[in-house]
Structure 1
Amino acid sequence: MRLLAAVAAACALALAPAAHAEIWGFVDAQGTAHFAAEKLDARYELFFRGGESFDTAEGVAAPQAEPPAAAPAPAAARVLSFLQVSPGFRLVQPQVREAAREHGIELALLQALIATESGFDPGAVSPKGAIGLMQVMPATAERYGVSGDARAPVERKLKDPRTNLRAGARYLRDLLRMFPGRLELALAAYNAGEGAVQKAGNRIPNYPETKNYVRTVMQLYAMLQPEPPAAATPQAPRRVRMELPGPGGADARRNMPPGLAAVTPLEGPGAPAVVVHD
């Protein structure tokens, strides 16, 4: 059973407002996308709001309202379009899917967390020393079996996508188990540490960075959810057009299959007949 099955109902109310939420972002000089739930500094521009579209052909474009007649594009397609400007996004998708399957984490959640943490840059290093796709601290990696040596210290190993994803996904899995049914607390713990969440009375700590982080991941997670399959609709009777030779065809021989309408000849001598099956 997937780990998130138990938290889906509890998170439904928290995810519902995200359909109309704002996501801010920018693309840096290396082509890496950065996300936030609010404008953190002058680089961030609003590129997504419910009911609006964006274009990343020239970085982060200002949002423009869609024409009334146009059907809105799925939110997932918009976010993925923005993510695809990051050079590492497509390269690491096989490893991301592998980590999601191996540790029972929903793919959309893992993608949302990685997008928020590193913008899918395997070489990202934070000012606090968090490394790689999932911004794993070396001490956390060591807790999950990543050991270094003189030739390959932990810091270097964490820049390998598969190593980083295995350690980070295991940590996220354990946090989901630690805070069952409270996805927002698991995310807050991933950002600020489980001790900070527990010290806050099992609430999101009153840190602006952590609050922004949780909102950003939750909003991206909601947008990256796969579209539900369309309900099957009864098909209207199909018209089958069949061309037959002119004189001497099936109608002339009176051996048309039952259920076919009478042959209606097209205009002009020698023109083929058209049989219509309703």
Structure 2
Amino acid sequence: MLAWGPAAHAELWGFVDAYGVAHFAPRAVDARYRLVHADEAASGPRVPGKRDGADALLTWMEIAPEVKALVPWVREAARTHGVDAELLTAIIAVESGFRRDAVSPRGAIGLMQITAVTGDRYATPAERRQPAAERLRDARTNIHTGARMLADLTRRYGRIDLALAAWNAGEGTVRRAGGLPRLAETRAHVHLVLELYWALLQRSQTARATRLALG
């Protein structure tokens, strides 16, 4: 069983813009942001009604067409490569906001923001017949490639936070740091993914328990 490393406990805020893109931040950047998840110990007791915006955002992630279209591929990749579907979803949300055509200034491509070099590293022989820059624009291929990478990193590091740090900053950076790097960008990335993963996992487990109780 994978161990959870020490991670910051704070808040995750987010909103969905007019184009259906989800935005996340560790604080309320402006009035559009609503609380998605907060650690009880850090934030204290919640006031009734304060999580309405957060619940609306998580509900949007469950019903938005662009998110729902990915569910079969996310679940398929999760089963195939032995990672949590909720963790894959959290990575997609933070990396690309569910935008299939997202390309970063550093050339990271698609839903899970994978570079061509990394894409080739985690591609199957059949996939390598197509240039990485092309195949990573395919949503299903992108998700499976990211799931293979996540499974490999979690096996090697044994901790989800370190796997996410290696995803964001590179394996060499994590190795030189001897653990979670002291890079603000990397720590913020790890925190955001873990907070959203926890929120999605809680909602998923609650939904399963409800269905079992009703059955």
The TM-score normalised by the length of structure 2 is 0.79
Amino acid at match of 1:96: V
Identity level (%): 43
Amino acid at match of 2:175: Q
Deviation at 1:216, TM superposition (A): 0.5
Residues 34 and 87 (structure 1), Cα distance of their counterparts in 2 relative to 1, 3 Å cut:
farther
Q: Distance in 1 between matches of 2:180 and 2:99?
A: 27
The residue that corresponds to 1:47 in the other structure is: 35
- Stretches of structure 1 lacking an aligned partner (at least 5 in a row): 1-5, 52-63, 234-278
The residue that corresponds to 1:66 in the other structure is: 48
Amino acid at match of 1:11: W
The structure having more radius of gyration, on CA atoms, is: 1
CA RMSD across the alignment: 3.2
Q: Could you tell which deviates more after superposition, 108-117 or 83-92?
A: 83-92
Paired residue secondary structure (2:98)? coil
The residue that corresponds to 1:141 in the other structure is: 119
Deviation at 1:128, TM superposition (A): 1.0
The one of 137, 151, 163 aligned to 1:186: 163
Q: Distance in 1 between matches of 2:128 and 2:31?
A: 37
Which structure: greater strand fraction? 1
4+ runs of 1 displaced by more than 4 Å? 12-15, 41-44, 84-87
Amino acid at match of 1:107: A
2:34 matches 1:24: no
Q: Distance in 2 between matches of 1:37 and 1:30?
A: 22
Amino acid at match of 2:70: V
Contact 2:5–2:161 under 8 Å retained in 1? no
Which structure: greater helix fraction? 2
- Stretches of structure 2 lacking an aligned partner (at least 5 in a row): 40-45
Q: Which has the higher contact order (CA 8 A, sep 6+)?
A: 2
Amino acid at match of 1:47: L
2:197 matches 1:221: yes
Residues 85 and 22 (structure 1), Cα distance of their counterparts in 2 relative to 1, 3 Å cut:
farther
2:143 matches 1:161: no
Contact 1:100–1:107 under 8 Å retained in 2? yes
Q: Distance in 1 between matches of 2:95 and 2:38?
A: 23
Q: Distance in 1 between matches of 2:88 and 2:62?
A: 16
Residues 44 and 212 (structure 1), Cα distance of their counterparts in 2 relative to 1, 3 Å cut:
farther
Deviations 1:37-94 (A, max 9, x none): 235x55862433549xxxxxxxxxxxx95359xxx77x7x555224258652111111
Residues 111 and 217 (structure 1), Cα distance of their counterparts in 2 relative to 1, 3 Å cut:
same
Paired residue secondary structure (2:70)? helix
Residues 221 and 79 (structure 1), Cα distance of their counterparts in 2 relative to 1, 3 Å cut:
farther
Q: Distance in 2 between matches of 1:78 and 1:42?
A: 17
Deviations 1:90-118 (A, max 9, x none): 11111111111110001111111111111
Contact 2:14–2:57 under 8 Å retained in 1? no
Alignment of 1:103-118 (within 5 A): 103-118=81-96
Residues 143 and 27 (structure 1), Cα distance of their counterparts in 2 relative to 1, 3 Å cut:
same
2:200 matches 1:208: no
The residue that corresponds to 1:127 in the other structure is: 105
Paired residue secondary structure (1:24)? strand
Contact 2:174–2:181 under 8 Å retained in 1? yes
Contact 2:15–2:57 under 8 Å retained in 1? no
Deviation at 1:205, TM superposition (A): 1.3
The residue that corresponds to 1:99 in the other structure is: 77
Q: Distance in 1 between matches of 2:118 and 2:32?
A: 30
